[in-house]
């Protein structure tokens, strides 16, 4: 994935072409300094059909992003750690 973090500007931007991302739902820093971002899966794929599942995206020391975990299952009820916004 292309860079997601711009350290000089002190901001995180969604630049992935795999899914059009909105703002992250939750951001946390690991004990070793890594960053994990929770996304609710509301993005639409570039093909206009695929919707990305809820996922955790990591950001490494260079500012590059990677998918740490992804859930592609359809969940129509709230799950722990992710708020439900009807």
Residue 86 lies in a domain: no
Phi, psi of 9 (to 5 degrees): -90, -5
Residue 85 lies in a domain: no
Domain count along the chain: 1
Predicted confidence at residue 59, as pLDDT, reads: 85
Domain that holds residue 48: 5-71
- Residue 52 CA to residue 42 CA, distance in Å, equals 7
- Residues 39/81, Cβ–Cβ less than 8 Å: no
Is residue 2's pLDDT more than 50?
A: no
Residues 69-83 have a mean pLDDT of: 64
pTM assigned to the model? 0.54
**How do residues 17-75 score in pLDDT, each as one tens digit?**
445 456 677 888 888 888 888 877 655 555 555 556 677 888 887 778 888 887 766 65
Residue 82 lies in a domain: no
Residue 51 lies in a domain: yes
Q: What's the token pair of residue 47? A: 């093909």
Residue 83 lies in a domain: no
């Amino acid at each position: 994935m292309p860079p997601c973090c711009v350290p000089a500007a002190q901001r995180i931007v969604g630049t992935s072409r795999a899914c059009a991302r909105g703002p992250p739902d939750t951001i946390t820093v690991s004990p070793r300094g890594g960053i994990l971002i929770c996304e609710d899966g509301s993005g639409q794929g570039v093909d206009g059909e695929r919707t990305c599942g809820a996922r955790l995206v990591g950001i490494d020391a260079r500012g590059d992003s990677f998918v740490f975990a992804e859930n592609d299952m359809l969940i129509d009820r709230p799950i722990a750690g992710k708020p439900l916004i009807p």
